[in-house]
Amino acid sequence: MTRRPRQRGFTLTGMMVGMVLGLLASVLAITTFQVVRQAYANVADSVMMAERGHRALGIVAQLVHQAGWIPGRASLTPGHPAPTAPLEGHDDCGQPAVDLSAPCGTRGRHQSDALRLRFSGSSSGDATTRPDGTMTDCGGHALAATAQPVDGVPTSHHAAMNLLYIGLGSDGVPQLLCRYPRRQGRQMQAVTYTSGTLVRGVEAMQLRYGVDRDGDGEADTYLRARDIRAQGDAGWHRVRTVQIALVIRGDRATGQTTRPEPLTLLPALTHGDADEDLSFPPATRHAVRRRVFTTTFRLRNPSPCLETLC
């Protein structure tokens, strides 16, 4: 008799079990990959928001610290204009004019404020209108000690003016913008300005101003821009510090469907105070992450004027 060879192979049950286990392993691998990818995207979005927030604060800090500075030899020039305040603000302003004493063109996005800063640069030699490259404005251009007059228009006490405000980019994303003097060749013009983007994703900016009421050089109270304007031009000469709150938004949608909680911005000035400076109500249709960055800057070059002189 001849022995038949033994049959070897998979049974139908074994094949089905193997397919199910393989399918479960594939689903688990895909799910794990998606979780890791989502976590990485969230971390990257958070890092990007932090970078934007710190960069925006750094830019504002540099401008506030420069505000009010003017070279000694330029300030002693015969016929030099009288000192002007280092900075001025405007509440709820989204399309500010170069002259902030004029009414604002439109309301600010989320009632954001605008800030105008005045300062000079430095020049080499006797040509005070030619910068030496040691100081720059918000556009990254070198600043001279004095501006180049245009069509006989006299220059101001400070060579340059930078205007910060919140606007929309061409893609509809809010951003921190700055208006700064135009250049003709390498020389800065005195009365013509252009705008540029500083930081993308800045959704709101609220400002308060620390005012020195008793003349000891320290801020005694914090006020809004409209409260200082009510005091006349002398009010801005008393400003010693600037308190700022920035709302930075991310780029990645969170998929959140419920209305987010309001973000706390600046503390109330008085008991029961309620205005746009205190909180930021995120819109549900823009379901993205948001962070608030707040700090206080001290003016290094406050106005030398007293109320009786300015």
The C-alpha atoms of residue 108 and residue 110 are separated, in whole angstroms, by 6
Give backbone dihedrals phi and psi of 150, rounded to 5 degrees, phi first: -120, 125
Instruction: Say what the pLDDT of residue 275 is.
Output: 64
Q: Write out the DSSP string of 73-128.
A: HHHTSTTPPPP--SEEEESS-SS--SSTTSPPSSPPGGG--EEEEEE---BSTT-T
Q: Write out the DSSP string of 118-164.
A: EE---BSTT-TTSB-SS-B-TTS-B--SSPBPBTTBPP-SSSEEEEE
Structure tokens at 116: 């105008």
Burial class (CB in 10 A: 0-12, 13-18, 19+), 158: buried
DSSP state of 6: P
The C-alpha atoms of residue 267 and residue 273 are separated, in whole angstroms, by 9
The C-alpha atoms of residue 268 and residue 65 are separated, in whole angstroms, by 26
Please name which of 53, 113, 27 lies closest in space to residue 293, comparing C-alpha atoms: 53
Structure tokens at 268: 């109330």
At 171 the three-state DSSP class reads coil
At 167 the three-state DSSP class reads strand
pLDDT tens for the chain, 310 residues long, are: 556 565 566 677 777 777 888 888 888 888 887 777 777 777 788 889 999 999 999 999 999 998 888 776 555 555 556 678 889 999 988 877 766 556 677 888 888 999 999 887 777 766 666 766 677 888 887 777 666 655 555 556 677 788 999 998 888 889 999 988 776 666 665 567 788 889 999 999 999 999 998 888 888 889 999 899 888 878 898 999 999 999 999 888 776 656 667 888 888 776 556 666 677 777 655 578 889 999 999 998 888 775 445 5
Q: Write out the DSSP string of 260-283.
A: PPPEE-S--SSTT--STTTEE---
The C-alpha atoms of residue 182 and residue 122 are separated, in whole angstroms, by 17
Check: CB of residue 57 under 8 Å from CB of residue 299.
Answer: no
The C-alpha atoms of residue 62 and residue 111 are separated, in whole angstroms, by 24
Please name which of 96, 85, 229 lies closest in space to residue 158, comparing C-alpha atoms: 85
Pairing of strands 174-184, 187-200: antiparallel
Instruction: Say what the pLDDT of residue 308 is.
Output: 45
Q: Which residues pair with 226 in a beta bridge?
A: none
Domain ranges of the chain: 39-78+85-298
